[in-house]
Structure 1
Amino acid sequence: MKDVQSQKDTRNIALKKVGINDLKWPIKVLDKTSGEQTTVSTMDLSVYLPHDQRGTHMSRFVEVIKEAPQFSPKGLEEMLKHLVERLEAKTGHCRIAFDYFVTKASPVTGIMAPYDVQCCFDAEYSVETGFKFILEVAVPATTLCPCSKEISEFGAHNQRAIIKMKIEMDKLIWIEDLVKIAEESASSPIFTLLKRQDEKWVTEQAYLNPRFVEDVARETAARLEAYEGITWYSTYVESIESIHNHNAFAYTEKGCTL
């Protein structure tokens, strides 16, 4: 059959990324406790398209995913190398977003329950520059306003915050360890299942540990900076405000010191 995608294009415009997106796909990812965890992902895959090639072969993206050995940094490097080889491209990129479940015990009663965080693998392979991998993790937590606590006769407003971290690494960093960093940087962690004794602990823990969104961003950055194996990081913290008609956020990344 005629290969239309391989026809020559004369407009002299290369396309940086061409591919598929929003593909739902079951995957297995590494789990610190049990070794492996099965979840459902949403994938985007693309390659660089030269200026003189009309199109790429979209079906080959799915074929390469089917043959992927493992959805880990090493496995993604192998998959992207295979992708650029199959499509005769010089770069390949994938973004894989998924829910990851951490089993947590409630703080007082110790009841175990799964707790989900939003994760993403963002990977690129270039025949010229090699492999690049970024791990993204978004962790919900509680913040309590220091100003509100200071000026109020009793109580203080608190809200959920989302702590989003991106890291590059030179050794394996577990998702669970990033969750711990985020929770230790906030006023209090949150939990899936709480009894009254647990709820009392969470409320009082937040009150004793007030944090602005700026505090959380700086605390997270300080912990990421000190963590062995992390070579680059960024952190974006958004506070979903409870008494304002807007949210608050703070962002920083490695090297932002002045």
Structure 2
Amino acid sequence: MKDVQNMKGDYKFGINEVGVEDIKYPLRVKSNSGDIISTVGTYSLGVNLDKDLKGIHMSRLPQLLAELHAEEWILDDFKADIYDILKDMQSRMETDNACLELKFDYFLSKEAPVSGQEGLMSYPCQIKSSLKEDEYNFFLSVEVPVTSLCPCSKEISDYSAHNQRGYTEVTVSYEGLLRVEELIEMVESVASCEVYSVLKRVDEKKVTEQAYDNPRFVEDMVRLVAEKLSADNKIDWFRVNSQHQESIHPHDAYAVLEGR
């Protein structure tokens, strides 16, 4: 059969990235405890294309995912495991540059603070990576839901204070081994209160009072999380984005902080 994609041509430009995106596949992730988390990964895979070639062998990219699934591949050491996939892409696509993006929900069982009732919490994660010749770039993001209580409202009100659900996204570049749980713990430890999927009345009392004792602006959240990240020697760059869904305003509040 005629191989149109492999035809040579006198094209004016090479292409930075060409590939496939938004491919969903079952994904298994090893947690910090060693348990295997079953979830669904959404993959985007791409490579560069020299200007003298018409196209890439695109079917090789979803074929790679099919092979990983058949081998019952487990994502464990995120940075090292993704590097191996990028090297494989370079080899089978006969190119120097490869990039991979992976989105998935990371599930953890969480106990309510008083009753001990268990429920699953999901944390959206994203990996963005590229391997250009031997230069490897890898970024891990996780979004953590939190409860926030307004310090200003608490200060000026005779009783109560308005609170809201917030979402803090942490993106990091790091060396060595870093677990998703570590990033989640950094965020939850400085929030007004954590978010739980199951709460009984005794738990509601606990989280309401805890939030009242720990008021947080979005500004507070990004600064406090940044302090945690900067104290971790494995992390060499970070970005913290915090958004609070305001309960008494028609808009959201946000703050962003980058650092090393």
C-alpha distance in 2 between matches for 1:123 and 1:36: 23
1:11 aligns with 2:11: yes
User: In the alignment, which residue of structure 1 is the partner of 2:88?
Assistant: 82
TM-score by structure 1 length? 0.94
**1-side partners of 2:230 and 2:9: how far apart?**
47
8 Å contact 1:70–1:76 — kept in the other structure?
Answer: no
Q: In 2, Cα distance between the equivalents of 1:59 and 1:183?
A: 42
TM-score by length of 2: 0.94
RMSD: 1.3
Query: Which residue in 2 is equivalent to 1:43?
Result: 43
The match for 2:131 is 125
Determine whether 1:22 maps to 2:22: yes
Q: What secondary structure does 1:38 align onto? A: strand
Could you say what secondary structure the match of 2:94 adopts? coil
Give me the whole-angstrom Cα distance separating, in 1, the residues matched to 2:248 and 2:254: 15
Contact 1:65 1:79 survives alignment (8 Å): no
Amino acid in structure 2 at the alignment position of 1:2 = K
User: What code does the residue aligned with 2:62 have?
Assistant: V
DSSP-derived class of the 2:221 partner: helix
Report matched runs for 1:61-140 at 5 Å.
Answer: 61-68=61-68, 69-71=73-75, 72-129=78-135, 131-140=136-145
The SS at the match of 2:249 is coil
Secondary structure of 2:5's counterpart equals: helix
Aligned ranges 1:148-187 → 2 under 5 Å: 148-187=153-192
Runs of 4+ more than 4 Å apart: none
Distance in 2, Cα, partners of 1:9 & 1:158: 62
CA shift at 1:36, angstroms?
Answer: 2.2
Output the amino acid matched with 2:83. Answer: E
Q: Is the 8 A contact 1:114 1:192 kept in 2?
A: yes
Determine if the alignment matches structure 1 residue 253 to structure 2 residue 258.
Answer: yes
In structure 2, how many angstroms separate the alpha carbons of the residues matched to 1:228 and 1:128? 24
In structure 2, list runs of 5 or more residues that go unmatched: none
SS in 1 for 2:113: coil
Aligned to 1:221: 226
User: How far did residue 147 of structure 1 move?
Assistant: 0.7
Which amino acid in 1 is paired with 2:79? P
Pair 1:188-2:193 in alignment: yes
The aligned residue for residue 249 of structure 2 is 244
2:248 partner SS: coil
Shift of residue 73, structure 1, vs aligned partner: 2.2
Q: Distance in 2 between matches of 1:157 and 1:217?
A: 20
**1:212 aligned to 197, 208, 217, which one?**
217
- 1:125 partner amino acid: L
Asked whether the 8 Å contact 1:91–1:127 carries over to 2, the reply is yes
The letter for the 2-side match of 1:165 is V
Distance apart, 1:103 and its partner CA: 1.1
SS in 1 for 2:81: helix
Residue pair 1:39, 1:99 contacting (<8 A) in 2 also: yes
